[in-house]
């Protein structure tokens, strides 16, 4: 059985070209949600393959995740939407406009008797260990108050740093040619990947 927990989160979105849009956010915190559930920090570790969905619908796979990082009480994520998928394009457009600002995690608890603690006094249930299966972009998270902080495309970032898209395309054309050595090609492609990661 998949359990869901919704969180308001801060998104930072960026378009990394024609096929991928990246975002960052908070997938999980140790705050009590609307259902009286508290997910303890580190409960999902180690994290394996996690699917990015829209509204927990298994038919709406939007992309995947590049990284998960437990930072104090928050599980930080870096994900990417595959813009070759129609629902991902729609979702990204809504995220950029600030109409979608929530994340919701779907998980299961293999050993509920051991890993779910019920606090009779506060009537909360504490999840100590669980398997993270999916993370969804949602419209109505149980914990409101967070919003998209910035949206920008890679073209805007390049322009701000004095690099035009035409110059980048020309460089990539040279790299794909025979005259570029494998070492140089690898070095420049690594640099471009790092620039994309930082945008």
Residue 141 and residue 185 share a domain: no
Residue 167 and residue 90 share a domain: no
pLDDT of residue 135 exceeding 80, the answer is yes
Q: Tell me the two tokens of residue 73.
A: 């009480």
pLDDT tens-digit series, residues 79-118:
888 989 999 999 989 988 888 888 888 999 999 999 999 9
Residue 171 and residue 124 share a domain: no
In a domain, 158, yes or no: no
In a domain, 49, yes or no: yes
Residue 190 and residue 109 share a domain: no
Total of domains in the chain? 2
pLDDT tens-digit series, residues 149-174:
344 445 555 566 666 666 666 666 66
**What pLDDT is attached to residue 165?**
61
> How do strand 124-127 and strand 37-39 relate by DSSP bridges?
parallel
pLDDT tens-digit series, residues 13-63:
555 555 888 888 888 888 888 888 889 999 999 999 999 999 999 999 999
Residue 143 and residue 52 share a domain: yes
CA angle 132, 134, 139 (to 5 degrees): 125
Q: Tell me the two tokens of residue 124.
A: 């909360």
Residue 26 and residue 115 share a domain: yes
**What pLDDT is attached to residue 109?**
95
Mean pLDDT of the chain: 77
Q: How far apart are the first and last CA of the chain?
A: 38
In a domain, 50, yes or no: yes
Residue 184: give the domain boundaries: 163-198
């Amino acid at each position: 059985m998949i359990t869901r927990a919704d969180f308001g989160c801060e998104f930072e979105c960026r378009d990394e070209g024609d096929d991928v849009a990246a975002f960052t956010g908070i997938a999980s915190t140790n705050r009590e949600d609307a259902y009286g559930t508290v997910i303890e920090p580190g409960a999902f570790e180690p994290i394996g393959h996690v699917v990015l969905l829209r509204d927990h619908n298994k038919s709406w796979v939007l992309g995947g995740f590049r990284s998960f990082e437990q930072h104090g009480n928050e599980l930080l994520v870096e994900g990417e939407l595959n813009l070759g998928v129609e629902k991902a394009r729609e979702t990204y457009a809504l995220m950029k406009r600030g109409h979608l600002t929530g994340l919701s995690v779907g998980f299961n608890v293999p050993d509920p008797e051991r890993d779910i603690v019920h606090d009779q006094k506060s009537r909360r249930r504490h999840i100590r260990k669980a398997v993270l299966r999916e993370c969804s972009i949602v419209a109505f998270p149980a914990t409101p108050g967070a919003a998209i902080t910035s949206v920008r495309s890679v073209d805007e970032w390049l322009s701000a740093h004095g690099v035009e898209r035409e110059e980048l395309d020309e460089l990539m054309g040279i790299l794909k040619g025979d005259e570029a050595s494998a070492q140089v090609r690898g070095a420049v492609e690594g640099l471009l990947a790092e620039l994309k990661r930082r945008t």
